[in-house]
C-alpha cells in the first residue's frame, strides 16, 4: 500500500496545492515541498528495508496487485525492486530541487504550476513502479500533459512551438508502444489462453522473429524518443531551452530516465532475441549520439541549449551501457542515470539562476562573472567538472564502469565512445571560460546565490561527491535486480539457453557464495 501512497501523495497534494493557492497566495510551494519531503521520507524508510526483505525468488521486495479492469486482464500492479527504489529516490530528490528552483521564479499562477509539477512527478513514480503494461502506458501518458503545461504556460519566448513539438514526439512514439503492448498481449493470450498485461507473465512469451522485432521496435521507439537517442533527439534542445527552470530539471533529471528505465525493464527482458539482433545497431547509434551530442554542444552559445545537447551525449552512454547488457555496464548505466540527473539538473538550475539575474542565456553576453558572483561561479565549475567526468565524482564512476562493461562486448565501440569524454572536457570548460572568465561584459552587479539556492545546490553537490567516493550503496541496491535480469535473459549470446556467464568476472553468479558482493564489491 505504501507504493500506492507514493503516487497518491503527489496527486492529492497537487490538487490541494492548487486549491489552497487560490485562497492563500504563496502556499502552493510549501504544500509541494512538504508533500515531496514526506514522499522522500517514505522512500528513505523503504531504502533501509530491501536487503532484509529480498525474497529468495526474485529481487522484488514489495508487491501490490489489485484488479482494475479485470475483464481485460488489467491490474493495478505495482512492485518495487532496487532499481525502482533508486529511481524513485532520485525522483523525490530532484522534485524537491525543482520546487526550490522555482521558489521565486514562478509568482503568477503558482497553484497550477505546482499542480502540474506534482502530477508529472506522480506519473514518473508510477512509471518506475508499474508492473502491468497497461498501467505503465497509463502513467507514461500521464507524465505528458502536465509537462506540456509546464512548458507551454510557464516557458520562455518560443514555448508554444517547443511544447507542441515535445508533445507530438512523445505522444506519437507512445502510440507505437501501445500497439506493441497490445500485440504482445494478444500473442501471449492466444498461446496461453490467459489474457493479461502482467509484466511477469508476459516475459518469455514465445513469438516469431519478425513479430519480436516489430514489437521491440514499438517499445524502443517510445523509449528512444524519451531518452533521447539520435535521430529522435530534436525535441529536446527546444523543450529544454524554453522550459522554466523546474521544467528543465525534471525533464533532464527524470523524464529522460524513464526512457532508459523502460529499456532496462521492458525492451530487453520482454524481447531478448530481437534486442540481441538489434543490439549492435543500437550501440552504434548510442555512440553516434555520444559524439554528435558532444559536437553539437560545442557549437552552442545558449547556455541551456548547450546543456541540453550534453544530455544527448550523456544519455548515449546510458543506452550504450544498457545494450551491452552485462551487470557491470548496467550498474554503470544506473549510476549514470542518477549522476546525470544531479549534475545536469544542477546545471539547468544554474542556467536558470543566470537567466533570472542577467535576462539572457547567451554565453557570449556573459563573461568575467567570477568576480561578481564567486559562489555561483564556483558551483558552476563544480558541476561542469562533474559533467566532464572528473575522477572522484559520480559521473566518472558511471562512465568508467559503462566503458568497462562495454569493452568486454565490443572493444571498438568502447574506444569510440570514450572520445565523447574528450568532447565533454571541452564543452564543460568552455562554459566556465565563456561565462566566468575573460573580460567582464555585464556591467551591472547582481546578487550571488541566495541561501535557498546554495542549499539546493549543495545537496546535489554532496550527492555527486558521495556517489563518486562511495558508489557502493547504489550498486548494491540495484545489483539484485540487474543480476536477476541478466541471469534470466542474455542477449549477448542469444544462441545459448540461459547462459549464466557471458563474461568472466562480473555477471550473474548462480551461487552467491562464490562472489558474495557481486560487482558492487569488485568496483569498490
Partner 1 sequence: MQYVDFIAIGPLLILAVFIVAVMLLIALRRNHKTTMALSLFGLLASFGNIPFAARFAPRAVTPLLIIDGYALFYMGLILVAAAATVAMAYGYLDKQDEAPEEFYLLMLIATLGSMVMVACNHVGSFFLGLEILSVSLYALSAYTRARTESLEAGLKYLVLAGVSASFLLFGAALIYAETGTMDFATIGAIFEKAPEARHSLTLMVGLGFLIVSVGFKLAVTPFHMWTPDIYQGAPAPVTAFVATASKGAVAAFLVRLFAPIDLNAWPSLYAIFACMAVGSMVAGNLLALMQTNVKRLLAYSSIAHMGYLLTAFLAGGKNSAVFVAFYLAAYSVSIMGCFGVMTLFSEKDRDADSINDYRSLFYSRPWLAGVFTAMLLSLAGIPLTAGFIGKFFVVSANVGSSHWGLVTTLALTSGAGLFYYLRIIVAMFTPLTDGESVPVSQKPSVPVLSAMTLTALSTLLVWLGVTPSWFMELIGRMIR
Give the distance from CA 363 to its chain's centroid: 27
At how many degrees (to 10) do helices 303-324 and 419-436 cross?
Answer: 160
Instruction: Give me the least distance between CB of 522 and partner 1, in Å please.
Output: 42
Scan residues 181-240 and list those touching partner 1 (CB under 8 A).
182-183, 185-186, 189
Stretch that binds partner 1, among 50-58, 156-164, 341-349, 395-403 (CB under 8 A): 156-164
For the window 80-119, what string marks contact with partner 1 as x by the rule CB under 8 A?
-----------------------------x--x-------
- Tell me: does residue 5 bind partner 1 (CB under 8 A): no
- Tell me: does residue 381 bind partner 1 (CB under 8 A): no
**For partner 1, the closer CB: 182 or 522:** 182
Instruction: Give me the least distance between CB of 153 and partner 1, in Å please.
Output: 5
> 40-53 in b/e burial notation, b at 16+ Cβ within 10 A?
bebbeebbeebeee
Among 66, 168, 422, 500, which residue sits at the site for partner 1 (rule: CB under 8 A)? 168
Among 44, 172, 371, 415, which residue sits at the site for partner 1 (rule: CB under 8 A)? 172
Separation of alpha carbons 121 and 40, rounded Å: 12
- Tell me: does residue 156 bind partner 1 (CB under 8 A): no
**For partner 1, the closer CB: 4 or 145:** 145
Over 311-372, what HEC string results? HHHHHHHHHHHHHHCCHHHHHHHHHHHHHHHHHHHHHHHHHHHHHHHHCCCEHHHCCCHHHH
Stretch that binds partner 1, among 170-178, 249-257, 300-308, 420-428 (CB under 8 A): 170-178
Separation of alpha carbons 233 and 165, rounded Å: 11
- Report which of 249, 110, 158, 212 is spatially closest to residue 489, judged by C-alpha positions: 212
Separation of alpha carbons 133 and 135, rounded Å: 5
As a dihedral over the C-alpha atoms of residue 352, residue 356, residue 360, residue 364, rounded to 10 degrees, the angle is -70
Separation of alpha carbons 127 and 79, rounded Å: 11
Q: What is the radius of gyration, based on Cα positions, of the chain?
A: 22
For the window 38-77, what string marks contact with partner 1 as x by the rule CB under 8 A?
------------------------------xxxxx-----
- Report which of 147, 141, 339, 375 is spatially closest to residue 257, judged by C-alpha positions: 339
**For partner 1, the closer CB: 141 or 273:** 141
**For partner 1, the closer CB: 163 or 326:** 163
Q: What is the DSSP string of 33-52?
A: HHHHHHHHHHHHHHHTSHHH
- Tell me: does residue 15 bind partner 1 (CB under 8 A): no
Among 37, 178, 429, 522, which residue sits at the site for partner 1 (rule: CB under 8 A)? 178
Stretch that binds partner 1, among 30-38, 143-151, 256-264, 359-367 (CB under 8 A): 143-151
Residues that bind partner 1 (CB under 8 A): 68-72, 109, 112, 134, 137-139, 141-142, 144-145, 148-149, 152-153, 160, 163-164, 167-168, 171-172, 175-176, 178-179, 182-183, 185-186, 189
Amino acid at each position: 500500500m505504501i507504493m500506492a501512497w507514493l503516487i497518491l501523495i503527489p496527486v492529492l497534494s497537487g490538487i490541494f496545492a492548487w486549491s489552497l493557492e487560490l485562497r492563500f497566495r504563496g502556499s502552493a510551494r510549501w504544500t509541494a515541498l512538504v508533500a515531496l519531503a514526506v514522499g522522500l521520507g517514505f522512500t528513505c524508510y523503504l531504502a533501509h528495508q530491501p536487503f532484509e526483505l529480498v525474497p529468495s525468488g526474485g529481487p522484488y521486495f514489495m508487491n501490490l496487485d489489485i484488479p482494475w479492469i479485470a475483464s481485460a486482464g488489467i491490474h493495478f500492479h505495482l512492485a518495487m525492486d532496487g532499481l525502482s527504489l533508486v529511481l524513485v529516490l532520485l525522483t523525490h530528490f530532484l522534485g524537491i530541487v525543482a520546487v526550490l528552483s522555482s521558489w521565486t521564479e514562478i509568482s503568477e499562477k503558482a497553484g497550477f504550476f505546482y499542480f502540474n509539477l506534482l502530477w508529472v512527478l506522480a506519473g514518473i513514480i508510477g512509471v518506475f513502479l508499474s508492473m502491468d503494461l497497461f498501467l505503465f502506458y497509463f502513467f507514461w501518458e500521464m507524465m505528458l500533459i502536465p509537462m506540456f503545461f509546464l512548458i507551454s504556460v510557464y516557458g520562455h519566448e518560443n514555448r508554444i512551438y517547443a511544447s507542441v513539438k515535445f508533445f507530438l514526439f512523445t505522444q506519437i512514439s507512445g502510440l507505437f508502444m501501445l500497439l506493441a503492448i497490445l500485440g504482445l498481449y494478444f500473442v501471449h493470450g492466444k498461446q496461453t489462453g490467459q489474457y493479461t498485461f502482467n509484466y511477469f507473465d508476459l516475459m518469455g512469451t514465445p513469438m516469431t522473429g519478425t513479430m519480436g522485432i516489430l514489437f521491440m521496435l514499438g517499445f524502443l521507439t517510445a523509449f528512444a524518443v524519451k531518452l533521447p537517442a539520435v535521430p529522435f533527439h530534436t525535441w529536446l534542445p527546444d523543450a529544454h531551452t524554453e522550459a522554466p527552470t523546474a521544467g528543465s530539471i525534471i525533464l533532464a533529471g527524470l523524464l529522460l530516465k524513464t526512457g532508459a528505465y523502460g529499456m532496462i525493464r521492458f525492451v530487453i527482458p520482454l524481447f531478448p532475441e530481437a534486442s540481441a539482433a538489434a543490439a549492435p545497431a543500437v550501440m552504434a547509434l548510442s555512440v553516434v549520439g555520444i559524439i554528435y551530442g558532444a559536437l553539437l554542444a560545442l557549437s552552442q552559445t545558449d547556455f541551456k541549449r548547450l546543456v541540453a545537447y550534453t544530455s544527448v551525449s550523456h544519455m548515449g552512454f546510458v543506452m550504450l551501457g544498457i545494450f551491452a547488457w552485462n551487470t557491470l555496464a548496467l550498474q554503470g548505466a544506473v549510476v549514470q542515470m542518477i549522476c546525470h540527473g544531479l549534475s545536469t539538473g544542477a546545471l539547468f538550475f544554474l542556467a536558470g539562476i543566470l537567466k533570472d539575474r542577467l535576462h539572457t542565456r547567451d554565453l557570449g553576453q556573459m563573461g568575467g562573472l567570477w568576480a561578481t558572483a564567486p559562489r555561483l561561479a564556483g558551483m558552476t565549475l563544480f558541476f561542469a567538472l562533474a559533467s566532464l567526468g572528473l575522477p572522484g565524482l559520480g559521473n566518472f564512476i558511471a562512465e568508467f564502469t559503462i566503458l568497462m562493461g562495454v569493452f568486454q562486448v565490443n572493444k571498438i565501440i568502447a574506444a569510440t565512445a570514450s572520445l565523447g569524454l574528450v568532447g565533454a572536457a571541452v564543452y564543460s570548460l568552455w562554459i566556465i571560460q565563456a561565462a566566468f572568465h575573460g573580460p567582464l561584459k555585464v556591467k551591472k552587479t547582481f546578487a550571488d546565490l541566495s541561501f535557498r539556492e546554495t542549499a539546493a545546490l549543495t545537496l546535489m553537490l554532496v550527492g555527486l561527491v558521495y556517489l563518486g567516493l562511495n558508489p557502493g550503496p547504489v550498486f548494491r541496491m540495484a545489483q539484485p535486480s540487474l543480476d536477476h535480469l541478466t541471469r534470466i535473459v542474455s542477449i549477448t549470446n542469444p544462441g545459448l539457453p540461459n547462459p549464466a556467464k557471458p563474461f568472466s568476472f562480473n555477471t550473474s553468479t548462480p551461487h552467491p557464495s562464490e562472489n558474495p558482493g557481486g560487482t558492487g564489491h569488485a568496483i569498490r
